[in-house]
Every structure is written in C-alpha cells, then in structure tokens.
A and B are shown apart, each in its own frame.
Chain A
Amino acid sequence: MIDLRLEIDPLPIVEPLVVRLRDTLASCETEHDATLVEANGTRLEYDYNGFSLGLRRRGNESFDGDVILVFPGQRTAHRLIRSASPHNTFLVTEQCDQLCVMCSQPPKRHHADLFSQFALAATLAPLKATIGISGGEPLLHKERLFSMIEAVASIRPDIRFHVLSNGQHLSRDDVARLVSIGTERILWGIPLYAADGSTHDRIVGKDGAFDKLERGLAILMKAGALVELRTVVMQQNKDRLGDLADFLFTRMSYIEVWAIMQMERVGYGRMNWASSFQDTSIDFVGIAKAIDISTARGISVALYNFPLCSVPGQYREFALSTISDWKRKYLDICDKCDSRTACGGFFEWYSHNEGFASLGAL
C-alpha cells in the first residue's frame, strides 16, 4: 500500500496550501513550485518561495511533479497528485445522500470546501492527466464543482476528469453548461445496480433514487456526456444482471462502457461483506450472460477489480487491472502466477479467508 500522506515539518500558514514539488529549479514553472535543495537521508528540504519546506520520505521515493496539500498546523501533507501515477483522485466532499451497502467511503455530515485548492492542484497536474473526482456525492456541490472544472479547463484544456456521481442532481438546465464545459472533458462514473427500482433503491439505501437516476441519465444523454455505467456485483443483484443488460441496451446504448465491479472490503463494504460479497470465482453465470448479451449488441463491457484467476478463461479479456496502485496488493499464490503483471490484484483490505474460494496461479 502506498501512503497518500507525507510527514512534514509544520508550516507557518493560515490557509490550506497547495505546492508542487520539483527536483530541479529548471523544472519550476509557477509560483506554486518548491525546489528540492537538500536530500539528507529520509529528510528532503525544499525551497518554496524563500521558505523552507521539509518532508520525510520512505525509501527512495521520488516526489518530482507531485502536488501536495498542507493544512495549517498539521504534520502531514496530502499527496493530491502523484505525477507518476494514473490514479489521482480528489475527494471533494464526504457528504452523500445515499447509504449504499457496499460503500467504501461512508459519508460524513460535515463538508470542508477545498474546491479552490483542488482547482489549483489540477492546473499543476502532469500533461494530459485524468483526475478522479470522488466523494461522497460531488454533485451535492454542483455549482462549486462545475466552477472548478471550468476554471481548470480555461487554464489546462488538456486535463480530463472522471467524476463518480450518483447522477441524481442534474437538471435540464445543466445540459447547456455540460456542453460548454466540453463533453469530452468529463467521464461520468454512474452506478446502477438493477433494472428494477426497488432493488436499486434498497442497495443504495434511498427511496426514489432509481427514478431520479433515470432522469439524470436521460439528461446526460441529451448533453452527449460520456458515461461509464458502474455496477458492483453483490448477492443482492447477481441474478438480475441479464435484466440490467437489457435495460442498458434499450435505455442507455450511449454509454462508453458498462463496468461490472467487484466489492471493496472497506467501509460499509466491510460491515456488509458477509451479506453482500458475491463469490464470482465459483458463480460467474450472471456476469457471463451480461457480457454475452451486451457485447453482441455492441455495448462495451469491462470487469473492474476482478483478479484474473477468478474469471473463466473465455471472459478474462474483459477483466481490466483497475485497482489503484496505492491500495493494491497481491497474495502468496500470486508469486507463482505468470499473469501477475496483467492482473490488478486485490484491494489492500481484501481478506482471503472471507474472499474468493476458487483462485490459483495462471
């Protein structure tokens, strides 16, 4: 597991600070860059506009191009952007209006608005980076979110966003704005768990969610938005994937991809693991059917978070390596596996004695 926090010397600041770390002065392009001046064992010292910024590293980590966020008085900094990683996500809010049984990031009541800091961080990201926007529910702060994306787009048109949202807070009035932001700039990751409203609503813990989501998806279609439809497979919906495939084809042929996902054993996902985790290594029938139907109809399907050896051979090509590097691990059985480099492995918090029953080196 890669720690997304860094130990730093407290800074004399009163506002949250966004800084990009650079190894050389030559690569500093903005007033937000700090240059490495001394590396002394695990302690790195940077020059930030004449101030000293000290932080500690583990091993030989490079932070060149990374963007960190520092709060006043704190001894840890948040690594908002790791320049060498494709997995950079801004947690823009922890508020949410759903209580999904598999939620890996349970909601909190309080919201700290850091959109200005996130906007600045995004403008310091590497060329053509895609930045994840996650929550909570980002669209609860729709105006701030759209403003942030617009601000970044005006300075860094090369940056793309991958927004994870429940899709229920859009109105017809947003279509023009989505178009003006540029539909290619945002990939919307929207979860839908079943084609029938009652099953979906039960899974997300919110009455009427399905109806609202249907309206949101129609609005995204009108706007020409790019949508990654996300379905976590669980005991609650495993027998309904064929129906969902039909629903997606008839209602949402416009989606970029249908991501069928495995559960993450953290947050509510950990709490509800026994009643929700579906062992797809021994029962893949519903997923196979969903893939067969959708692929024949030209809907692109991908499996996220499935270890390759848990997927039957014929369907392995659909399994992508999707677990973010910082929370990915491999098991002992992976040591002998020839497919390890192509495999996304397991979540850091995966527990094998409660996990897949039928795995093995390929």
Chain B
Amino acid sequence: MTVFPLKFRPAAHGQVLFADDAGGFFRSDEDFLFRYAHDHLTDNDNAFLLRNGHAFEEAGDLAYAGFEYRFASRLYAPGPLDYVILVPTLRCNLACGYCQVSRVNEHTPGFDWSDETLDAVISFLGGITTPKMKIEFQGGEPTLRLDILKKIREFCRSRFDRCEFVVCTNLQEVSDEVWDFLGLPDVFVSTSLDGDVATHELQRTFKSARTAKFVENLDAAIARLGSDKVSALPTIDARRPPEPASIIDAYTSRGMHSIYLRPVNFQGFARKRYDARASASAWNAYHTRFIDELVEHNWTADVPAEEYYFVHCLRRILRAGHNGHVDLRNPNIVGHGYVVIDHDGKIYPTDEARMVSRVGQFDLSMGDVFKGMSTATVDALNQEASNNFHPDCVHCTYQAYCGVDLVDDLSRYGRIDVPKHETDFCQRHIAIFDKIFEMMYSDDAKVRKSLAIWAGVPNFDASLARWHQ
C-alpha cells in the first residue's frame, strides 16, 4: 500500500489536521504524525488511510484512479469566452471614498464609448461563437448610458441562443426608462448596500436625502423585480465596520439572504485614501465575527442567511470541481473564459487588471476591440498562476481548496514573488479555511445547523469531518 503525501497543520487541543493533494482530509493527533513521519504506520492507520482515499494498493486501481479524478477535477480549466464585462462609461453620479473603479465625475467628457467603440465592441461580441453569453455592465454608472445598454442587449439577443445581462448600478437615480430596462426578463440588478443604512451614507451617499433616495430605489427594485433578480454587496471598511447584526438585518429584512462581504479594495481611489495594505488581520477578525453572528441568526431565523464567499470556500473544501468563482481558482487562468472591455475599448483579463493598468503599475491589457485581442501578456502571467508546485503552497494543508490571485499580488506588492504567507490573499484564505475547519469539527448544534444549510444538506453528518485515532 502506498500513502499519498499528507500535509498537516496544528489544530485546536493538540490535534493535527491532515490533507492530501486531492483535498481529502482528517484530523488526528501528534502520535499519528510521529508514526507517519517515521514510517511506523500501524495496520489500523493503513486501513483508515486506504478507506478514506489517502492511499492505494497499486497504480491504476480504483482507489488510485479515484484520487486522480478528484485531484484533476479541482483544477480549473477555462471554458470558451462566454462572459464579458463592459464598461460603457467611467462617469458616475456618486463619489464613494473608496471607489474601486477610478470613476470620473458625471459631467466629465471623454470617458464614454464613442460610436466607433460601440461598433467595435459589437463586432467583437459578434466574433464569439458560444451559444450562451453573460454580459455584465459596469462603470462608472452604466445606466448613464442606457442607450448603449439597449443596443448591446438587442445585438446579443440576435446573436446568442441564451443571454443574461447584469447591470451593476448604484440605484441612485433611476428614470422610468431605466426601470423598464431593469424589468426585462433577462436583466438582473447588482448593487451596493454597505451594511446598514448609516454606514451606506457614511461611505457612499454622504447626504441623508441621497441616502433616502437610494433606499427607496433599492426597495422599489426588490418589490418590482423580485429579490431573486436583485443582488447587493456590502463593501466593508474593516477599521470601522458596521455591526454584523445590522448588516444581516438590513439584508434579510429585504428578502436578500446571500450576503457577500467585500473588503474595501486597495485599488483605484481607495489606495489614495486608505491603508488597506496591512488590513488582513482586521478583516479576518471581522469576518469571523460576522460568521458567528450568522450562526446565531440561523439558529432561530425562518429563512437562513449565508455569507457567499464563506459558503463558496466551505464547498470548495467538501467538493471537487467547485470552480464557479473567479476569485478562487487554481490554476487561475485569466483572459480566456471572461474578459473586461474598458471605456476606451481596451480589453483586460479582469476588473482588477484594468485598475492595475489604469494606475500605471503594469500594462495588463490584452489589446483592444479595434485591433483585436492578444493573450500574450496574460499567458505569461498564467504560466505562474498555479499553486500546485509553488514552493510556498506545496506544503500548505489548504492548497487543494485554495487558489492564486497574481493580479492582486501585482496590485498590492508590484510583484508576484512575494512570499505567499506575507500576501493579503494568503492571509485571508488561511483565516477562512481555519475558521471552516474549526466549525466542521465543532459539536455545537448551532454551528452544525448553519453548516448543514450552507453545505445544502438536511444534516451536516459528523463523518464529513473525520477523526483518526
């Protein structure tokens, strides 16, 4: 019998968490670690390891092939381009302190698509051959260019079998025409609600009249379109975050039960105002407090709530092939499955790459809609976008669940070779995975109830988090 390499990490109460390259895991003690390290495994150890998928009898047998399959299906392979983020204008009617997207004032000329740009974008979309297409309109405030949104939608509906359109809007000023567009069956709304209303005003709207207008529009959007067509994200400043309970209340009272906490982004305007560089520990402390509050909430709530990214990470631990989120993939191949087209027609692999380029750190553009797309630069980056053989990641217990975000590293540190454990990305993810494992091995009934809900099962069975003694 051969044991696949095990990586390990201290857990609570002198226990040790073990995991393999396919993401199989269990907890044991230091005695087992000693036996494993010194090649003194007992028959009982071997039987456990074989049964639990950490070992095989001979290469090619079902245990071996099953491990290969689980390993391989954790690797992300980009599909054909079927998701395009469009920035038809950088102009915005709000000036949020931490604006992630380097916006310009509403009446500044020269930051919208020209007619030529629109034509070129349409011909770019026309060259895509997939049957389905997802378009996300960002900005700036994209509804300032409703005319463009309509033309893009009309074209896509004639070009693709299935289309979905997401409008990322601040819902500050919504004209009747914009309401009509948002109400179309294939149009979805994504907006921001920074926790409770007071925090939203502090961070975004600044004046109570504007805040009231936004809240009125948000509630109207949910009432008119249904809560399943409206999603909202809270951007959190970890130095002065709203109370978790107030966020949960602000969201669930509006029928929104999936809350995706976003830390203030380091880029764009944000980097000029805030020191987000060393904020991982503050964020981690807040995030874990938020999860604990959700557990309390779910214990009695009629309709449970979740933190979207936490649930994503939980499922990435439990399952192979859970690659649906662009922020957490391994290898994180960018510039293929989805791209961003900026206000000037330039193409970028991600929204963050657009901003890294905009502030002049690096040029991560992939050509433009006029001359065509080139993946040469991002493919050089993609060569390094795997954690499987990265010297800092190979020994990490969480490697199989984790990912890589080189654009984030570039933006924060100006390079991709900072030791991983010093990066914000690594520190945030270690903390999330630590928290998840602590919860999976907890016998607190409240914790287990939330875990069951978040894993999508009636009961979170104890054998999902196995012990070996």
B55 CB, nearest partner CB in chain A, Å: 10
Contact status of A296 and B52, CB under 8 A, knowing A253-B320, A291-B458, A315-B458: no
Q: Which of A250-301 contact B (CB under 8 A)?
A: 250-254, 288-289, 291-293, 295-298
Task: Tell me which residues across on chain A come within 8 A of B65, comparing CB atoms.
Answer: 218, 221-222, 251
Task: Tell me which residues across on chain B come within 8 A of A240, comparing CB atoms.
Answer: none
Contact status of A297 and B63, CB under 8 A, knowing A221-B69, A292-B458: no
A293–B464 CB distance below 8 A: yes
A330 interface hit (Cβ, 8 Å): no
B283 interface hit (Cβ, 8 Å): no
Task: Tell me which residues across on chain B come within 8 A of A353, comparing CB atoms.
Answer: none
A215 interface hit (Cβ, 8 Å): yes
B455 interface hit (Cβ, 8 Å): yes
B63–A314 CB distance below 8 A: no
A262 CB, nearest partner CB in chain B, Å: 20
A296–B457 CB distance below 8 A: yes
A297–B319 CB distance below 8 A: yes
B153 interface hit (Cβ, 8 Å): no
Chain A 217-245 per-residue mask, 1 if CB under 8 angstroms from chain B, else 0: 11001100000000000000000001100
Q: Which of B424-469 contact A (CB under 8 A)?
A: 452, 455-461, 463-464
Contact status of A242 and B463, CB under 8 A, knowing A250-B67, A254-B69: yes
Task: Tell me which residues across on chain B come within 8 A of A146, comparing CB atoms.
Answer: none
B24 interface hit (Cβ, 8 Å): yes
The interface centre, meaning the residue of A217, A222, A252, A253 with most chain B CB atoms within 10 A of its CB, is: A253
Contact status of A298 and B62, CB under 8 A, knowing A253-B69, A292-B458: no
Contact status of A252 and B318, CB under 8 A, knowing A288-B459, A296-B460: no
A253–B458 CB distance below 8 A: no
B24–A253 CB distance below 8 A: no
Task: Tell me which residues across on chain B come within 8 A of A315, comparing CB atoms.
Answer: 458
A71 interface hit (Cβ, 8 Å): no
**Closest chain A residue to B459, Cβ basis:** A292
Task: Tell me which residues across on chain B come within 8 A of A291, comparing CB atoms.
Answer: 457-458
A214 interface hit (Cβ, 8 Å): yes
Task: Tell me which residues across on chain A come within 8 A of B460, comparing CB atoms.
Answer: 292, 296
Contact status of A218 and B53, CB under 8 A, knowing A296-B318, A296-B461, A298-B321: no
A-B contact count (CB 8 A): 83
A250–B52 CB distance below 8 A: yes
A293–B463 CB distance below 8 A: yes
The interface centre, meaning the residue of B52, B62, B69, B457 with most chain A CB atoms within 10 A of its CB, is: B62
B457–A250 CB distance below 8 A: no
A250–B53 CB distance below 8 A: yes
The docked-state distance in angstroms from the alpha carbon of A243 to that of B60 is 22
A298–B457 CB distance below 8 A: no
For A214, give its contact among B61, B315, B452 (CB under 8 Å). Answer: B61
B70 interface hit (Cβ, 8 Å): yes
The docked-state distance in angstroms from the alpha carbon of A288 to that of B464 is 13
B461–A251 CB distance below 8 A: no
The docked-state distance in angstroms from the alpha carbon of A117 to that of B67 is 42
Task: Tell me which residues across on chain B come within 8 A of A242, comparing CB atoms.
Answer: 461, 463
Chain B 61-76 per-residue mask, 1 if CB under 8 angstroms from chain A, else 0: 1110111011001000
Task: Tell me which residues across on chain A come within 8 A of B457, comparing CB atoms.
Answer: 291-292, 295-296
A250–B464 CB distance below 8 A: no
B420 interface hit (Cβ, 8 Å): no
Q: Number of residues in A with C-beta < 8 Å to the partner?
A: 28
Task: Tell me which residues across on chain B come within 8 A of A246, comparing CB atoms.
Answer: 51-53, 463
**Closest chain B residue to A247, Cβ basis:** B51
B332 CB, nearest partner CB in chain A, Å: 21
Contact status of A251 and B315, CB under 8 A, knowing A242-B463, A292-B459, A298-B321: no
B61–A253 CB distance below 8 A: no
Q: Which of B25-72 contact A (CB under 8 A)?
A: 51-53, 60-63, 65-67, 69-70
Q: Which of A290-324 contact B (CB under 8 A)?
A: 291-293, 295-298, 314-315
Contact status of A253 and B70, CB under 8 A, knowing A218-B60, A246-B51, A297-B318: yes
B322 interface hit (Cβ, 8 Å): yes
A28 CB, nearest partner CB in chain B, Å: 34
A250 CB, nearest partner CB in chain B, Å: 3
Chain A 195-227 per-residue mask, 1 if CB under 8 angstroms from chain B, else 0: 100000000000000000011011001100000
A253–B73 CB distance below 8 A: yes
A249 interface hit (Cβ, 8 Å): yes
Q: Which of B66-106 contact A (CB under 8 A)?
A: 66-67, 69-70, 73
B461–A298 CB distance below 8 A: no
The docked-state distance in angstroms from the alpha carbon of A145 to that of B257 is 51
The interface centre, meaning the residue of A221, A251, A293, A295 with most chain B CB atoms within 10 A of its CB, is: A251
Contact status of A292 and B322, CB under 8 A, knowing A214-B61, A253-B70, A253-B73: no
Q: Which of B110-152 contact A (CB under 8 A)?
A: none
The docked-state distance in angstroms from the alpha carbon of A25 to that of B226 is 52
B62–A215 CB distance below 8 A: yes
Contact status of A217 and B62, CB under 8 A, knowing A242-B463, A253-B70, A296-B456: yes
**Closest chain A residue to B54, Cβ basis:** A250
The docked-state distance in angstroms from the alpha carbon of A252 to that of B53 is 11
A251–B458 CB distance below 8 A: no
The docked-state distance in angstroms from the alpha carbon of A249 to that of B455 is 16
B449 CB, nearest partner CB in chain A, Å: 13
B459–A251 CB distance below 8 A: no
Chain A 139-156 per-residue mask, 1 if CB under 8 angstroms from chain B, else 0: 000000000000000000
Task: Tell me which residues across on chain B come within 8 A of A295, comparing CB atoms.
Answer: 455-457
A314–B67 CB distance below 8 A: no
For A253, give its contact among B51, B60, B63, B66 (CB under 8 Å). Answer: B66
A285 CB, nearest partner CB in chain B, Å: 11
The docked-state distance in angstroms from the alpha carbon of A343 to that of B320 is 32
Contact status of A298 and B61, CB under 8 A, knowing A246-B51, A246-B52, A288-B459: no
The docked-state distance in angstroms from the alpha carbon of A246 to that of B50 is 11
The docked-state distance in angstroms from the alpha carbon of A218 to that of B68 is 11
Task: Tell me which residues across on chain A come within 8 A of B67, comparing CB atoms.
Answer: 250
B319–A298 CB distance below 8 A: yes
The docked-state distance in angstroms from the alpha carbon of A234 to that of B450 is 32
B66–A250 CB distance below 8 A: yes
Task: Tell me which residues across on chain A come within 8 A of B62, comparing CB atoms.
Answer: 214-215, 217-218, 221, 251-252
Task: Tell me which residues across on chain B come within 8 A of A217, comparing CB atoms.
Answer: 62
The docked-state distance in angstroms from the alpha carbon of A15 to that of B318 is 57
Task: Tell me which residues across on chain A come within 8 A of B53, comparing CB atoms.
Answer: 246, 249-251
Task: Tell me which residues across on chain B come within 8 A of A250, comparing CB atoms.
Answer: 24, 51-53, 63, 66-67, 70
Task: Tell me which residues across on chain A come within 8 A of B60, comparing CB atoms.
Answer: 218
The docked-state distance in angstroms from the alpha carbon of A222 to that of B319 is 20
Given contacts A215-B61, A250-B70, A296-B456, 11 further A-B contacts (CB under 8 A): A195-B51, A221-B66, A249-B53, A250-B51, A250-B63, A250-B67, A251-B62, A288-B459, A292-B461, A297-B318, A314-B458
Pull 14 A–B residue pairs with CB atoms less than 8 Å apart, ordered by A: A217-B62, A218-B62, A222-B65, A242-B461, A246-B52, A250-B70, A251-B63, A251-B66, A289-B463, A292-B460, A295-B455, A297-B318, A298-B318, A298-B320
Counting from the closest, the 10 A-B pairs by CB-CB distance are A250-B53, A298-B319, A251-B66, A314-B458, A296-B455, A292-B461, A214-B62, A218-B65, A218-B62, A292-B457
